Amino acid sequence: MRSARLAVLVLFGLLLVSPAAHADSWTLTLTPSPSIGGMNGQTVGWGYTIFNDSDRALFVTDVAFDPLNYAVADPGIFDFPIVAPHSSWSVSYVPDVSGIFQLTWDWSAPLGANNSGSLVLSGFWCDASGSCIDAGVASADYSATVTQLQAVPEPMSLVLMGTGLVGVGLRRRFSKA
């Protein structure tokens, strides 16, 4: 009985340290939250954290996203990191500077307009010798919603306001003379 328990413990220990028990994996998390809101005409976006739970370095090669409505995408802020084994890489969102993805809402986007889907990263596991194999993909769901509307001045309103200001200026000038 005692040897059977010992054999089970040894077998369990071997499973814990075997390569199959520590399969390569990596995850993607959007920061500060997968769901964000903003105003029409505004640029909004996400930062990210990639966690590499592997014994190999991970090189991230591509970012893909779902089609957008009432918005224009800009994935050009992503820095394509190489994440060291058993570590994480985090980048905060700074508009037009850093993050994983940003979108700019159209001025015509109605209140409640929503874009949601999955951001998908693909990558490779690479070792010190430069040998690389496909690491598959990691994805994170996102959602951006127009939560407030900004008034868009009509061109004619600007002309009328400009004409009025010129009139007030002329009146002041000629009333002093």
CB 117 within 8 A of CB 141: yes
Give the pLDDT of residue 159: 74
Partners of 117 in the beta sheet? 142
In the chain, the N- to C-terminal Cα span, in Å, equals: 115
Tokens found for residue 45: 């976006």
Q: In what side-by-side order are the strands of the sheet with 82-83?
A: 35-39, 132-148, 114-126, 57-64, 82-83
Q: What is the 3-state secondary structure (H, E, C) of 37-86?
A: EEECCCEEEEEEEEEECCCCEEEEEEEECCCCCCEEEEHHHCCCCEECCC
Residues 6+ apart with CB under 8 A from 61: 80, 122, 123, 124
The span from the CA of 144 to the CA of 114, in Å, is: 6
Nearest to 121 by CA among 72, 88, 87, 78: 78
Give the pLDDT of residue 82: 92
Domain 23-160 has CATH 3.30.70.1880: no
Give the pLDDT of residue 16: 37
Q: How many Cα atoms are found within 13 Å in the side-chain-facing hemisphere of 38?
A: 23
Residues 6+ apart with CB under 8 A from 40: 70, 105, 106, 107, 108, 109, 110, 113, 146, 149, 150
Give the pLDDT of residue 174: 79
Nearest to 60 by CA among 141, 126, 117, 131: 126
pLDDT in tens, the chain (177 residues): 444 443 333 333 333 343 444 468 999 999 999 999 999 999 999 999 999 999 889 999 999 999 999 999 988 899 999 999 999 999 999 999 999 999 999 999 999 999 999 999 999 999 888 899 999 999 999 999 999 998 766 666 667 778 888 888 787 777 776
Give the pLDDT of residue 90: 96
Nearest to 93 by CA among 140, 49, 45: 45
